[in-house]
Structure 1
Amino acid sequence: MPARATDARRAAVLGSPIAHSLSPQLHNAAYAALGLHDWTYDRFDIDEAALEGFLAGLGPEWAGLSLTMPLKRAVIPLLDGITDTAASVEAVNTVVLHPDGRKYGDNTDIPGLVAALHERGVEKTDSAAILGAGATASSALAALSRICTGEVVAYVRSEQRADEMRGWGERLGVRVRTADWADAARAFAAPLVISTTPKGGTDHLVAEVPQQVGTLFDVVYDPWPTPLAAAWQQRGGHVLSGLDLLVHQAVFQFEQFTGDRRPVLAAMREAALRALG
């Protein structure tokens, strides 16, 4: 059942550093839009060493936590259980807190990425490419396991990263082929390209964007557009940003924390765009 507006409940995002997080703006905008006036959402700078003590000090008013780096794996031993989705990538970004003290972890980045693609009309693809091989790349692979019917090519910088991506592919049931980062521009021939690199990581590839492109999902959202996204748009391709992922995964968190499934995507997106100016 949805939480009543008279229930004083708390939620927050944890991580270190955390000042940059837009999660408070997103969740508080959703509370305001639905009249959940006694719900509050804050941010706390918590590192791995402080995490166990923070969790132990939470009272019954706490409903949920969002987690960012470096806590997504560190939290797992401190929980009573995690979903299969979180287990598939060994990463938790969502903790649901029950009144009896039980704590359960989930990963909303994966369904969030899928939902963002569905919103833009990408429901299935026969192949895809991933730029990068970090934690976000494993979530991208998990999302592709739900929508990609063929091969995923991961462009990576080292053989160690290549081994990791192939290992994730085997674990997730995705056919993964790895390629050297020096050949990353070849990714642009794929109907769906997911760039998981940090800001500036693909700037050198802009001149190699072809005239015919498919869909680009660039996980950066500030500054936006990235040079790669701008070039992609100029070619008439479909482009999604990290903001699309951010708001969709936050919607899933909101629903788990509150039990309220009324639509909040528009309110969250508006709040994020306002915060980014």
Structure 2
Amino acid sequence: MPTTRTTAHRAAVLGSPIAHSLSPVLHRAAYAELGLTHWSYDRFEVTETGLPAFLAGLDPSWAGLSLTMPLKRAVLPLLDTVSPTASSVEAVNTVVIDGDGRRTGDNTDIPGILAALRERGVTTVESAAVLGAGATASSALAALSRICTGPVTAYVRGPARAAEMREWGTRLGVDVRIADWSEAAGALGAPLVIATTPAGATDALAPHVPDRPGTLFDVLYDPWPTPLATAWSVRGGPVVGGLDLLVHQAVLQVELMTGRAPAPLAVMRAAGEHALGTRRA
């Protein structure tokens, strides 16, 4: 972990599209609370093809990067070292740059998922369902490998996605069972449902929420609440949202990049909620 820096240093979130990202709001709120007036945090539109040149152009003032889609896997060959957590899912959402310019890749999504669930009292489950596939779904499986004692059913579209989720299950030591997306309504009876799909993908499932649902973790935060999350709450089920994940993983990023811990969780969450409320107004 880097030591606290006393000269001007930079961090940013990269991805495409990136204009919607709340990361600058969260990180800047943390810097202000921690008194890090010499730190700045921005956002940059960067594609997979543009990532090597962007990294090559960083000067010594850079301390860290947050990565969103489609860069979480594209960055892997451009790093000096990768943490075991990030290696387990071949996905990096955090790059820490030390004083010598060495780039270390990490993944704060996985511990962020666990922290968000723990905040709602979910520390172990007998089974779970994952809606969707891809980088976020693999992070969900990695988190579930630590708290789920039984099978995880993944609801996916197509044989390629099914094969990918089976492979991740084998690598992560999770008993993954595959179901077709057309059967996704059946997922809603699981003790824990993690929805990793894009906006609108789960809207049709809202009428199928059971009378006594378990816990829903919907990784979306804008628009929020989703129709599925709304229906879940109406029926009394606990809901963990994408802002919860975003804040918890950002807390860990701030700590890794600045060397200051603990990062101000409540302040960062309030800043995120305010920013989302402003967008909706």
TM-score class, shorter = over 0.9
Q: CA deviation at 1:263?
A: 3.6
Q: Per the alignment, in what secondary structure is the counterpart of residue 197 of structure 2?
A: coil
**Cross-structure match for 2:77:** 77
Q: Pairwise mapping of residues 252-271 of structure 1 onto structure 2 (< 5 A)?
A: 252-271=252-271
Work out the CA distance in 2 between the residues paired with 1:71 and 1:233.
33
| Residue 60 of structure 1, CA deviation | 1.6
Partner of 2:151: 151
**Within 5 A, what are the aligned runs for 1:107-186?**
107-186=107-186
Q: 2:252·2:263 contact (CA, 8 Å) conserved in 1? A: no
Deviation string 1:238-258 (CA, Å, 9 cap, x unpaired) is 001111110001011000000
Q: Is the 8 A contact 2:13 2:23 kept in 1?
A: yes
Counterpart Cα distance in 2 of 1:200 and 1:74: 26
Which residue of structure 2 lines up, in the alignment, with residue 3 of structure 1?
A: 4
**For the residues of structure 2 that align with 1:140 and 1:113, how far apart are their CA atoms?**
7
Alignment of 1:13-52 (within 5 A): 13-52=13-52
Is the 1:96–1:103 Cα contact (8 Å) retained in structure 2?
yes
Which deviations, in whole Å up to 9, do the C-alpha atoms of 1:118-172 show, x marking residues without a partner?
A: 1111011111001111221111101101111110011111122111111100000
Deviates more, 1:52-61 or 1:228-237: 52-61
Q: Which runs of 4+ in 1 moved over 4 A?
A: none
Partner of 2:196: 196
Report the equivalent of 1:205: 205
Asked whether the equivalents of residues 11 and 41 of structure 2 are also in contact (C-alpha less than 8 Å), the reply is yes
> What is the percent sequence identity of the aligned residues?
69
Pairs within 5 Å for 1:55-70 = 55-70=55-70
Write the distance in 2 (CA, Å) between the matches of 1:227 and 1:154: 21
- The whole-number CA distance in structure 2 between the counterparts of 1:150 and 1:74 is 32
Task: After TM superposition, give the deviation of residue 72 of structure 1 in Å.
Answer: 1.0
One-letter amino acid of the structure 2 residue matched with residue 162 of structure 1: A
Name the residue aligned to 1:224. Answer: 224
Task: Quote the Cα distance in structure 1 between the aligned partners of 2:132 and 2:70.
Answer: 19
Question: What is the aligned-residue RMSD (CA, Å)?
Answer: 1.1
Which deviations, in whole Å up to 9, do the C-alpha atoms of 1:177-233 show, x marking residues without a partner? 011111111111111000111111111111111101110001111111111101100
- Alpha-carbon offset, residue 276 of structure 1: 0.8
SS in 2 for 1:48: coil
For 2:118, the aligned partner's letter is H
Which whole-Å CA distance do the structure 1 matches of 2:114 and 2:262 have between them? 19
- Residue pair 2:154, 2:177 contacting (<8 A) in 1 also: yes
My pick for the range that moved more, 156-165 or 24-33, is: 156-165
Partners of 2:103 and 2:224 in 1: CA distance: 36
- CA deviation after TM superposition for structure 1 residue 69, in Å: 1.3
Q: Distance in 2 between matches of 1:161 and 1:210?
A: 27
Are the aligned partners of 2:255 and 2:263 in contact in 1 as well (CA < 8 Å)?
A: no
Work out whether residues 254 and 263 of structure 2, in 8 Å CA contact, stay in contact via their aligned partners in 1.
no
For 2:74 and 2:188, locate their aligned partners in 1 and report how far apart those are by CA, in whole Å: 35
* Counterpart contact for 2:88–2:172, Cα < 8 Å: yes
AA paired with 1:41? Answer: Y
Decide whether the 8 Å contact of 2:221 with 2:243 is kept in 1: yes
Q: How far apart, in 2, do the equivalents of 1:164 and 1:232 lie? A: 29
Q: Secondary structure at the match of 1:99?
A: coil
Superposed displacement of residue 173, structure 1? 0.5
- Counterpart CA distance in 2 for 1:50 and 1:133 is 25
Partner amino acid for 1:8? A
The whole-number CA distance in structure 1 between the counterparts of 2:260 and 2:160 is: 43
Larger deviation, residues 101-110 vs 52-61 = 52-61
* Counterpart for residue 86 of structure 2: 86
Q: CA deviation at 1:260?
A: 0.5
AA partner of residue 154 (structure 2): A
Number of residue pairs the alignment of both structures matches: 276
CA drift at 1:262: 2.5
Calculate the TM-score normalised by the size of structure 1: 0.97
Task: Summarize the Cα distance change of 1:159–1:49 in structure 2 as closer, same or farther, 3 Å threshold.
Answer: closer
Return the offset for 1:2: 5.4
| Structure 1 contact 2–261 (Cα < 8 Å) conserved | no
